[in-house]
């Protein structure tokens, strides 16, 4: 069971205001020509608009229920034929194809809890890529203000949907709970400093070609959000 199964019907209303990254990932997919492997594809927030742009997407997710919602959204958008959804772990994705672009949008790599898991995921992503192919993903590391404002409090993120963040700053682990009319769940997210993400990418055989501070491609200047674009290094 994935922690997301219980909130598969809550996920879209919960994340309804998260729209800033869609164009970024769809543009990358278009530039790559596809197909794209999206790790942690979820309900298709990015995968469905990518398919709507005419790009084939192989979506991998450990939550069968999230992928069920994704399949419904794809059918509704008339793009089901371009979406190939597979239940599986992003550390060992069930994908034999080789592609020009692998993405992992909206912080899904934070579900990995130590460097062994992260390295495994990066190496697996590298294996999926054609020579010169690109891995793109985003993560965050909280600022002290954010931690102070939100720690241990139930906050209404969207009407009727509440979330509570418990920050363990020393261990760099966020325990995030969400509850709403159609489900509730608690999950752990582990963050790193940007230098640590960069070091892991390099160890896994990537060259970092861009590290942005937001999806409009502004340079990273020390904020909470990190958007990474790395290319497969040929050894
Ligand atoms: C924050 S959601 C992002 C979903 C989607 N990419 C988006 O942008 O809305 C994280 C997704 O990663 C999936 N996930 C978490 N750990 C995973 C793992 N080890 N393997 C595959 N999927 C995983 C969850 O089931 C969830 O659908």
**105 ligand 1 Cβ < 6 A:** yes
According to DSSP, residue 219 is labeled: B
Tell me, what's the pLDDT at 188?
Answer: 97
Could you tell me which residues are beta bridge partners of residue 167?
Answer: 174
**Residues, the chain, total?**
235
Question: What is residue 54's predicted lDDT score, i.e. its pLDDT?
Answer: 98
Atom nearest to 15 CA in ligand 1: 9
Most distant CA pair in the chain: distance in Å? 51
Distance 89 CA to ligand 1 centre (A): 9
Which pair of structure tokens corresponds to residue 155?
Answer: 């906050």
**Dist CA 78 CA 21 (whole Å):** 22
Of 13, 20, 29, 108, the one to substitute when testing ligand 1's pocket (max ligand atoms within 8 A of C-beta) is 108
Query: 3-state secondary structure string, 170-234?
Result: CCCEEEEEEEECCEEEEEEEECCCHHHHHHHHHHCCEEEEEEECCCCCCECCCCCEEEEEEEECC
- Does a cis peptide bond (omega within 30 degrees of 0) precede residue 35? yes
**pTM for this prediction:** 0.97
What is the structure's pLDDT at 1?
83
Q: How many Å apart are CA 20 and CA 106, to the nearest integer?
A: 10
pLDDT at 213: 97
Give burial (CB, 10 Å; 0-12/13-18/19+) of 15.
middle
Dist. CA 88–CA 95, nearest whole Å = 9
Does 46 sit in the ligand 1 pocket, CB within 6 Å?
A: yes
Residue by residue, pLDDT tens for the chain (235 residues) are: 899 999 999 999 999 999 999 999 999 999 999 999 999 999 999 999 999 999 999 999 999 999 999 999 999 999 999 999 999 999 999 999 999 999 999 999 999 999 999 999 999 999 999 999 999 999 999 999 999 999 999 999 999 999 999 999 999 999 999 999 999 999 999 999 999 999 999 999 999 999 999 999 999 999 899 999 999 999 7
> 129, exposed or middle or buried, with CB in 10 Å at 0-12, 13-18, 19+?
buried
Distance 117 CA to ligand 1 centre (A): 15
Cβ(111)–Cβ(40) below 8 Å = yes
Give the relative orientation of helices 115-128 and 194-203 as an angle to the nearest 10 degrees: 50
Q: What is the reported pLDDT for 171?
A: 97
* pLDDT score at 235: 72
């Amino acid at each position: 069971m994935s922690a997301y199964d219980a909130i598969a019907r809550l996920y879209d209303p919960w994340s309804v205001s998260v729209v800033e990254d869609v164009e970024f990932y769809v543009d990358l997919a278009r530039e790559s020509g596809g197909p794209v492997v999206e790790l942690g594809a979820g309900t298709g927030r990015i995968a469905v608009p990518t398919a709507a742009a005419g790009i084939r997407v192989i979506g991998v997710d450990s939550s069968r229920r999230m992928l069920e919602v994704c399949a419904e959204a794809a059918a509704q958008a008339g793009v089901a034929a371009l979406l190939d959804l597979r239940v599986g772990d992003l550390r060992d994705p069930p994908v034999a194809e080789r592609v020009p672009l692998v993405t992992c949008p909206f912080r899904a790599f934070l579900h990995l809890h130590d460097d062994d898991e992260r390295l495994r995921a990066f190496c697996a992503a590298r294996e999926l890529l054609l020579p010169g192919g690109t891995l793109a993903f985003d993560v965050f590391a909280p600022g002290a203000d954010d931690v102070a404002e939100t720690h241990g409090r139930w906050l209404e993120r969207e009407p009727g949907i509440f979330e509570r963040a418990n920050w363990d700053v020393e261990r760099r682990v966020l325990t995030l709970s969400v509850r709403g009319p159609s489900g509730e769940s608690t999950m752990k997210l582990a963050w790193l400093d940007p230098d640590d993400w960069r070091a892991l990418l390099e160890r896994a055989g990537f060259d970092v070609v861009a590290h942005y501070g937001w999806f409009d491609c502004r340079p990273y200047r020390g904020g909470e959000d990190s958007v990474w674009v790395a290319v497969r290094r040929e050894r």
